[in-house]
A and B are shown apart, each in its own frame.
Chain A
């Protein structure tokens, strides 16, 4: 049973426009959410996170929104740049167990077209 779902395997966006990547989760115990970015032949790199006590977190061009009632989060990239082309993984964690065990989605491949 997939607890973290990224239903769009790929997304194409024009340079300068907004990219919106979506993620849904089923486990209501998750209280911490992260986005990772992965280029080919490299390990995933941490991008941005949000705690369940917030509904928005912003870092430069990247903003993550959390809708707890819908069990949905999204990553907005504004404006999108060609260097943003990568696979984006959504991850969720339950901190109550004393450790941050991350459960990942399957990823969304973002292509930013110049």
Chain B
């Protein structure tokens, strides 16, 4: 089954403790992206990657890092999480052959206390 898999689904952590949210896709997609969803703000892009070793900032990159060492994986790293990063995070992937329609993962609900 074609899918984007994120882990974990839920995470509660403390301020300053480094964490990684993993994302993997099995569709051989070139593009991958991370979004966060907050009430009243919709979906905002954090980082995106057009292919292996090619990453760039989205609209809200502060406090986040990403890497794209393999085509299928695109982890999101929070080096020193803060409470304002409490949010619902989505990973997504796409290919130009699909006309731009991103496939999203099921989401990771992160709470930073």
Chain A interfacial positions (CB closer than 8 Å to B): 6, 32, 34, 36, 41-46, 49, 51, 89, 91, 93, 95, 98-107
A36, A95, A104 — most chain B CB neighbours (10 Å): A104
| 19 further interface pairs, Cβ-Cβ under 8 Å (given A43-B92, A106-B42) | A42-B106, A43-B90, A44-B90, A49-B101, A91-B43, A95-B100, A99-B31, A99-B96, A100-B94, A100-B96, A100-B102, A101-B33, A101-B45, A101-B58, A102-B33, A102-B45, A102-B102, A104-B35, A107-B42
User: Which residues of chain A have C-beta atoms less than 8 A from B12's C-beta?
Assistant: none
Identify A44's interface contact among B45, B94, B96, B104, CB under 8 A: B104
Query: Could you tell me which B residues sit within 8 Å of A by CB distance?
Result: 4, 31, 33, 35, 40-45, 48, 50, 58, 90, 92, 94, 96, 99-107
Question: Which of A43, A103, A104 is the one whose CB lies under 8 Å from B106?
Answer: A43
19 intermolecular pairs with C-beta atoms under 8 Å apart: A32-B99, A34-B100, A34-B101, A43-B90, A43-B107, A44-B90, A44-B104, A46-B101, A46-B103, A51-B99, A89-B42, A99-B31, A99-B48, A100-B31, A100-B96, A106-B40, A106-B42, A107-B42, A107-B43
Of B41, B100, B105, which is in contact with the most chain A CB atoms at under 10 Å from its CB? B100
